Structure 1
Amino acid sequence: AYFAEIIKRDLNKDIKDIPGAGAAGGLGASLMAFLNAELRPGIEIMIEIVKLEQAIKDADLVITGEGKIDSQTIYGKAPIGVAKIAKKYNVPVIAIAAIIGDDAGVVHQYGISTLLSVSGTPMRLDESVPNKVAIIKNSIKQSMRAIRTGEELKNRL
């Protein structure tokens, strides 16, 4: 708080309560005060850099992921940024996570159609990390099988 007060006094810039600026004068606040930097969510920058909207608008399905999906995910995490674009183009989104919190259902209103856990069985972190690629591949394979099953059911109805 003291650092923020000094910046306000000496530079006439109030950085104390700016979201994302850091706790009363962190790195973000310093960059804003001394370099006139603009703070933007990381997902917005990545969406621009990789031209994600252009890729999603022509997609049939989007698969995204996060270590943990819960009610906090709606506050700027990558899956929500991705899902908002997909929702704009009516593209369904599957979100895969290592942990799905009990309160994760809130993400559905932001465009995430389905939540899947990468782990079929409970395991410790020291077991999952060395096998992360195989675990994620298996989760994606199971997702595709579920989609194929849905298509088969659709053809029967």
Structure 2
Amino acid sequence: MHIVIAPDSYKGSITAREAAEAMERGVRLALPGCRVTRAPIADGGEGTLDCLLEASGGTSRTVMVSDPLGRPVPARFGILKDSGTCIIETAEACGLHRLAEPERNPLITSTYGVGQLIAAGLDMGCRSFVLGLGGSSTNDGGAGMLQALGIRLLDKHGENLPPGGAALERLAQVDASHLDPRIKEASFVAACDVDNPLIGPCGASAVFGPQKGASPEIAGRLDDCLKIWADHTEAATGVRLHNCQGAGAAGGMAGALIAYLRARMVPGCDIAAEMSGLEAHIRSADLVLTGEGRTDAQTLHGKAPCGVARLAARYGVPTVILSGAAGPDINELYTIGVTAVFSITAEPMPLEAAVSRASLLIEQAAEQVVRLFCAGRQKIHANE
């Protein structure tokens, strides 16, 4: 029997690689002699950099950049061994994890550090970039990133705008004449796990603003700011971002990548799957195990387990999700290739306990799923 193990990270707990190792331990407890292929996956969020470096080989570099509040922090990026592609996990610079909870304020947080990471990749000679967009603390439409790359955002007095999403309400002119000329030589792919537009009730501010510290009133103000940003961007580039699918990712940074850096939006799971050769592994598999920290209706919108299940469904291979927490709204997952969803917690426990014991809980759940799967196969074969 061949079992493919392709989990995402369990955010706030363990990495995709650690989760895959835990699943393999559980599989081998149930079926010691089976063939196991580990292919940790990511969707553009936390763990994307490590996942792609592990899948394709390469080196990790560290540079000092500005965090969301402008403080200097060390941030990693990767360069793939064969292609020279630069891998950037944008949360390394502007991630929510960079801020203590009282510091979360999307009115003033900036993506400037992401632009510094791109510049560092350009300095290394890279002209192909993959940016993972998950986990940002920002809502500035990518304005800070562009400022770091030379674009001037000016108010009516011709003064540069300060950092943050709120500053965009004073935007009067976009001056792209000083954009780093190396950008024209480069190609960009934005790896993303959401399809939200830039503005509106499903846009960046309304949907993601609250987790970044925005009250309903602040989220409404930020949405108005992004409308102004979209209007000026359309005038400067000819690209209309207002209702562009996916432009709302990372507080609208995806929109800036599309309009100013000509980026292609690609589901992060697809990139990771391609680089790891996941499809070839699944083609010969009998069972696929995947997983994530929480499984709910959002999983359908580009999350890694959904991408894994869709791929497995092409070859008629059953897929089981081992979830840190399974929500009540998961029935639609069964229509796209998911066979079953199992919570890894077998007994009531506080969240802190589940997080600290995640590796063992995943191992135990994987063992039980494989035992059940094997019993079912034996029953089928006995009746043939």
- For the criterion TM > 0.5, the same-fold answer is yes
Contact 1:70 1:105 in 2 (8 A): no
Q: How does 1:67-146 map to 2 (within 5 A)?
A: 67-146=293-372
Q: 2-side partners of 1:100 and 1:35: how far apart?
A: 38
Q: Which residue of 2 aligns with 1:54?
A: 280
Q: How does 1:32-51 map to 2 (within 5 A)?
A: 32-51=258-277
Q: 2-side partners of 1:127 and 1:85: how far apart?
A: 33
Q: 2-side partners of 1:60 and 1:98: how far apart?
A: 24
Q: Deviations over 1:2-59 (max 9, x none)?
A: 1111111122211121121127x82111111211111111111111111111111111
Shift of 1:72: 2.3
| Greater mean alpha carbon deviation, residues 65-74 or residues 110-119 | 65-74
Does residue 13 (structure 1) correspond to residue 230 (structure 2)? The answer is: no
| Greater mean alpha carbon deviation, residues 145-154 or residues 86-95 | 145-154
Query: Which structure is richer in relative contact order (CA contacts within 8 A, separation 6 or more)?
Result: 2
Amino acid at match of 1:50: S
Q: Deviations over 1:116-153 (max 9, x none)?
A: 11000122211111111111000001111112322343
Amino acid at match of 2:272: M
More strand by share: 2
Amino acid at match of 2:376: G
Q: How many residues align?
A: 156
| Greater mean alpha carbon deviation, residues 63-72 or residues 107-116 | 63-72
TM-score by length of 1: 0.91
Q: Which residue of 1 aligns with 2:291?
A: 65
Q: 1-side partners of 2:252 and 2:341: how far apart?
A: 34
Shift of 1:73: 1.6
SS at match of 1:99: coil
Q: 2-side partners of 1:47 and 1:155: how far apart?
A: 32
Query: Over the residues paired in the alignment, what is the CA RMSD in angstroms?
Result: 1.6
Amino acid at match of 2:228: Y
**Structure 1 segments of 4 or more deviating over 6 A?**
none
SS at match of 2:323: strand
More helix by share: 1
Q: Which has the larger radius of gyration?
A: 2
Q: 2-side partners of 1:33 and 1:155: how far apart?
A: 56
